[in-house]
Amino acid sequence: MPHLRWNDRTNMTLLMDFYELTMSKGYLDQSLESTIAYFDLFFRAIPEDGGYAIMAGIDQMIDYIQALQFTEEDLKYLESIQGFDQRFLDYLRGFRFTCDIWAVPEGTPIFPDEPIVKVRGPIIQAQMIETMLLTTINHQSLIATKASRIVRAAKGRPVLEFGSRRAQGCDAAVLGARAAYIAGAAGTSCTICGQQFGIPVVGTMAHSWVQTFPSEYEAFAAYARSFPENTVLLVDTYNVLQSGVPNAIRVAREVLEPGGQRLRGIRIDSGDLTYLTIQAREMLNQAGLQDCKITVSNALDEYIIRELLLQDAAADSFGVGERLITSRAEPVFGGVYKLAAIEQGGQIMPRMKFSENTGKITNPGNKEVWRFYDQATGKAIADLICLAGEEIDESQPYEIFDPFHTWKRKVLTHFTVRRLLEPVFIHGTLNYRRPSIDECRNTCSRELDRLWESVRRFENPQTYYVDLSQKLWDIKDQLLHENKQLI
């Protein structure tokens, strides 16, 4: 289907923190507007102490960049609230984005401290896009990460995204459902998301449908007549086992089967889901409805789903809402956007943030990220952040080391490598084949399979190492020593 821009409905250029504009005017006043800067977008910690996160949001980043321009309405507003001078307003009036952007493809597992988006270009331009990049990548990566955990807990059973009504606004509903699909959700109840992105949409009825009719049986029968080829009935409005399931079986026999149709499924949205699904399965089987699927919902997450399956619940699929679409257990993905280098006189001058909190000290320079895979197993071994231009010879041993405990070293042999950052924009022009959402979904499935199970587990996952090359570490170490009074 044709690509549709979710952001076409409004001009998003001013979706930026105000300091992006005050700094931009300052750069212009200091004649720094053409200074070439490098910024890294990365995150510091995986939500819920997990072992991995999932990259998402690049497609919407592309939409935003391609539509980036200041309208006369924007300029009048800025003049009215701050009194920006005419020189700066004229600069914004003629604004054209000319930066280079590299990014990790959507669906790829990602890890703390490594650049997942890199921007190079005039500092005003690179600075202005900070907020929108962060809100786009942070949100969708958060939901994709949560959805991946839930999908894995379901062990191959479909997970359906049901969270629109509990999302924090329409963007969160639509783009959250998109991210969940990339991470493995089988479909969404969000109709506009299906329209925009080609994601399968699912849904049956609410309790209000059942309550509208004089009896539960009449409600079920009416629905079956409207949708005979896809009848799925909500059976917990009154009593699942005494009313809901018996009425569903009756409709299957009296309404659907005479027309050559089968009851496709039932959904249970409350009560003891383990007990109710086991009993419902037995009743359906005795009625010859072994092919009728049971979907359960009601504030599910990966831990509840795992417990249901450990208790042998007879659930064939899971409808997951608020705890997925809000990532309720940890609703923040801590991506940050930091200056890493400045070009001066043709030289790249590294820049680094210092802090008493060692976790906030950044990695300087113009960087690339490589992923090492074991040739024998195909599993990912570690990621390496290095200086741009460093090459890795797969035919030679390569020593990696822990950047925080440098005496911990390992020599890798018999490996292959993959460069993670791919060019998206070159001089402001799109230089990237935008993968379909199903391609992103396949990337996620394939690359997750290349992580060891110990990295993917929910509790106390094995740490996946993200190391620095020796050349990058030397630059960082030198800057730390030269500026030790700042720490």
What single-letter amino acid sits at 31?
S
CB 38 within 8 A of CB 340: yes
- The pLDDT, as a whole number, for residue 223 is 98
User: How would residue 320 be classed by pLDDT, with cut points 50, 70 and 90?
Assistant: very high
Of 28-42, 188-202, 348-362, give the lowest mean pLDDT range.
Answer: 348-362
Average pLDDT taken over every residue of the chain: 95
Task: Give the per-residue pLDDT at 453.
Answer: 97
More confident residue, 176 or 345: 176
pLDDT at residue number 359: 82
The dihedral sign for the CA sequence 441, 447, 453, 459: negative
Please report which confidence band the pLDDT of residue 1 belongs to, taking 50, 70 and 90 as the band edges.
very low
Percent of the chain with pLDDT over 70: 97
The Cα 487–Cα 484 span in angstroms is 5
**The pLDDT value given to residue 483:** 83
- 446: pLDDT strictly greater than 70: yes
How much is the pLDDT for 6? 56
Q: Which residues lie below 8 Å from residue 414, measured CB to CB, with a gap of 6+?
A: 374, 375, 376
Which is higher by pLDDT, 444 or 357?
Answer: 444
For 144-325, which CATH superfamily applies?
A: Aldolase class I (3.20.20.70)
Query: Is 0.85 surpassed by the pTM of this model?
Result: yes
Residue 71, pLDDT score: 95
Question: Measured between alpha carbons, how far is residue 101 from residues 98, 127, 162, 323, 410 in Å?
Answer: 10, 13, 34, 33, 32
According to the model, what pLDDT value does residue 2 have?
45
Query: What pLDDT, on the 0 to 100 scale, is given for residue 109?
Result: 98
For the chain, give the longest Cα–Cα distance. Answer: 84
Where does the pLDDT of residue 484 fall: very low under 50, low under 70, confident under 90, or very high at 90 and above? confident
- Tell which CATH architecture fits domain 6-143+331-486: Alpha-Beta Barrel (3.20)
**Domain assignments of the chain as residue spans, ordered by start:** 6-143+331-486, 144-325
pLDDT score recorded for residue 487:
59
Residue 402's Cβ-count burial label (10 Å; 0-12, 13-18, 19+) is middle
* Strand duo 232-234 + 265-268: pairing: parallel
pLDDT at 358 over 90: no
Instruction: Write out pLDDT tens, residues 20-55.
Output: 999 999 999 999 999 999 999 999 999 999 999 999
Answer whether residue 3 shows pLDDT above 60: no
The yes-or-no verdict on residue 4 having pLDDT over 60 is no
